[in-house]
Amino acid sequence: GVDCGGDSRMCCRQEFFVDFKEIGWEDWIIQPAGYHMNYCTGLCPLHMAGIPGLAASFHTAVLNRIKAASAAAAVDSCCVPTQRRPLSLLYYDRDSNIVKTDIPDMIVDSCGCT
Amino acid sequence: AARGEWCPACGMAALAPGTQRDVLLALAKQSILAKLRLPARPSSPQPPARGALLTALRRLRAQRSDTAASPGTLRDGPVPQLRPGMELQEYEILSFAESASSTSRSVCLHFRFSRELSGSTEVLQATLYLFWASPRPRAQPVTIRLLKPDPMGPNMTVASETRLEVQGSGWTTLDVGPAVRSLSGQETPRLTVELDVPEDWESPFPADHTDSHWPFVVAQARARTPHRVRRR
């Protein structure tokens, strides 16, 4: 996978960090301090298409929603997550219990063209 | 989108930067809450007051030492007095690795510690735990570098370097006490660890998402004793 940067407009992974303090969630999420909500962006010309690895996930749901919103049906190859890992959270639930949970496929590690 | 043009998934790039940020933040909130099956964020938790917690822990400890001294005796009534030296609060700090950047031969791990570490806490010892899923049975060299911020600039400098011979799969430990102690005074104490690993090795960040193998640091710490002033 390629990380975005410079002038290239090819498919890459854009890093995006959601700081829980910034959104006022630091009082109920104990760890981590934020969420690396990286996403995939960039062009996928035909010669870059064909990298497999797209499974059902939150990200595909987002992708499908955007696709549905698009007026055109015929599309080129798309820049999508090819490697993901879970987000581990330690937080207070509604009853102030401390809960540890892992949400699968929440962090995009690399991107590629479908 | 017509052939050769932007994929619809890249539509976000066309948004204004401020709007895009708002959309992503809203999406992050929505997805986390949905995955936790929460209709809304829980209201602010009411953790027990620090003082009450310390009192409870002291009572527990005092009760234990009392029971150990006179087995078979049940106590009811006032809490026994603490013995000298028992008033120091010792505890463990756990930090799991986060935001790793890696190449085929090098992995960078960050361990964040609470701000409490920088002021009121004295670190007695600290240990780094790394799990290796080695494909080979014979020993392989692994270089572990502890990095610290360079006071002269934005870069990191090497505080210490250790070379280990890792035998097959399993956990390895490394004493990082001096490095964790040196974080004292930093506004956001963070330990950075760089690993040089054999090329065909799996990163210590498990690819199969086995969280029980996640790298971590354990630090034994205790509250600093207040300075005493004696008048003569």
> Which tens digits make up the pLDDT trace of B183-227?
877 777 889 999 888 777 766 666 654 667 888 999 988 876 655
Greater confidence (B16 vs B28) lies with: B28
Can you give the C-alpha Rg of chain A in angstroms?
Answer: 17
d(CA B207, CA B193): 19
Region B169-190 average pLDDT: 85
Q: Which residues of A touch B6 (CB under 8 A)?
A: 43
Inter-chain CB proximity B13 and A85 less than 8 Å:
no
pLDDT digits (tens, 9 = 90+) for B23-80: 889 999 999 999 999 999 988 776 666 666 677 667 766 666 655 544 433 333 344 4
Shortest Cα distance, chain A CAs vs residue B22, angstroms: 11
Partner-chain contact B209 A102, CB within 8 Å: yes
Q: Tokens 């150990």 — which residue? A: B68
**CB burial of residue A83 (10 Å; 0-12, 13-18, 19+):** middle
Per-residue pLDDT at A60 exceeds 50 = yes
The predicted pLDDT at position B176 comes to 93
Give A19's Cβ-side CA count (13 Å radius): 2
Residue type at A64 in one-letter notation: N
Cα atoms in the Cβ-side hemisphere of radius 13 Å centred on A94: 7
pLDDT at B157: 84
Q: Are A53 and A112 in contact (CB under 8 A)?
A: yes
Question: How many contacts (CB atoms, under 8 Å) link A and B?
Answer: 111
Q: What DSSP element (H or E) covers B90?
A: strand B90-96
Where residue B165 falls among pLDDT bands split at 50, 70, 90? confident
Query: Which residue in chain B has the smallest CA separation from A88?
Result: B211
Q: Looking at beta carbons, which residues of chain B come within 8 Å of A30?
A: none
- Per-residue pLDDT band for B83 (boundaries 50, 70, 90) equals very low
The stretch B112-130 carries a mean pLDDT of 81
Strand order in the sheet with A98-113: A29-31, A79-92, A98-113
Omega within 30 of 0 (cis) for the link into B42: no
Split at pLDDT 50, 70, 90, the class of B86 is: very low
Identify the pLDDT of residue B5.
Answer: 55
Report residue A15 as tokens. 């890093």
Beta bridge partners of A85: A107
Q: Highest mean pLDDT range out of A103-112, B70-79, B102-111? A: A103-112
What whole-number distance in Å separates Cα of residue B113 and Cα of residue B183?
Answer: 9
Predicted local distance difference test score (pLDDT) of residue A55? 44
- In this prediction, residues A14-23 reach a mean pLDDT of 92
Beta carbons within 8 Å of B138's beta carbon, 6+ residues apart: B167
Q: What is the mean pLDDT of residues A33-40?
A: 92
Helix (H) or strand (E) holding A109: strand A98-113
Quote the pLDDT of residue B74.
34
B180/chain A closest Cα distance in angstroms: 19
CB contact under 8 A, A25 and B43: no
Between B91 and B160, whose confidence is greater?
Answer: B160
**Cα separation, B29 vs B137, whole angstroms:** 45
Distance, CA of A87 to chain centre: 11
Q: B96 and A103: CB-CB below 8 Å?
A: no
> pLDDT above 70 covers what percent of chain B?
62
Structure confidence at residue A65 as a pLDDT band (50, 70, 90): low
Q: Cα–Cα distance between A81 and A79 in angstroms, integer?
A: 7
pLDDT at A113: 84
Residue A5, C-beta contacts closer than 8 angstroms, at least 6 positions apart: A12
Token digits of residue B24: 């992503």
Nearest to B8 by CA among A73, A3, A7: A73
Residue-wise burial string across A38-56, b where 16 or more C-beta atoms lie within 10 A, e elsewhere: bbbbbbbeeebeebeeeee
Place B118 in a pLDDT band, splitting at 50, 70 and 90: low
User: In the predicted model, what is the mean pLDDT of chain B?
Assistant: 74
Interface of A with B in 42-101 (CB under 8 A): 42-46, 58, 62-63, 66-67, 69-70, 72, 74-80, 85-89, 91-94, 96, 101
Q: Which residue has the higher pLDDT, B100 or B84?
A: B100
- Tell me how far apart the terminal alpha carbons of chain A are, to the nearest angstrom: 13
Q: What is the mean pLDDT of residues B78-100?
A: 63
